[in-house]
Structure 1
Amino acid sequence: MEGALRPVLVVGTVVTLTVVLGLVVDRTLRAADARHPETPLWHLLRRCRLPLQVTLCTAMLRGAYRTVRIAAEHRATVGQGLTLVLIGATAWLTVRVATAVTDSSYARYAAVSRDVAKIRRLRTQSTLIQRVFTAIVGVIAIASMLFTFPAMRTVGASMLASAGIIGIVAGVAAQSTLGNLFAGLQIAFGDMVRIGDTVVVDGEWGTVEEITLTFLSVRTWDERRITMPVSYFTSKPFENWSRGDARMTGTVFFHLDHSAPVDGMRKRLLEILEQTQEWDRRAWGLVVIDTTPTTIQLRALVTAKDAGDIFDLRCIVREQLIDWLRCEHPYALPRLSTSDAPGRRDAARDRAPAPLPDTAGLGPGPGKR
Structure 2
Amino acid sequence: MTADFFQDRPAPYGCDPAQTRGRLFQEPESPTRSCYQRDRDRIVHSGAFRKLKYKTQVFVYHEGDYFRTRLTHSLEVAQIARSISRALGLNEDLAEAVALAHDLGHTPFGHAGEDALDACMAPYGGFAHNDQTLRILTMLERRYADFDGLNLTWETLEGVVKHNGPLLPPGGGNDGGGEKLPTTLAAFQERWDLELHTNPGAEAQVAALADDIAYNNHDIDDGLRAGLFTVDEVAELPLVGPVVRQVCDRYPGLERSRLIHETIRRMINNMIVDLLAETRERLDRHRPGSAAELRALPEAVVSFSPAMFEAQRPLRAFLKQRMYRHYRVNREMSKCKRVVTALFDLFMAEPNTLPTQWQEDVAKQGGQGDRTVLARLVADYIAGMTDRYALAEYARLFDMDAKT
TM over 0.5: no
Q: Tell me the TM-score normalized by structure 2.
A: 0.18
Question: Which of the two has greater strand per residue?
Answer: 1
Structure of greater Rg = 1
Higher relative contact order (CA 8 A, sep 6+): 2
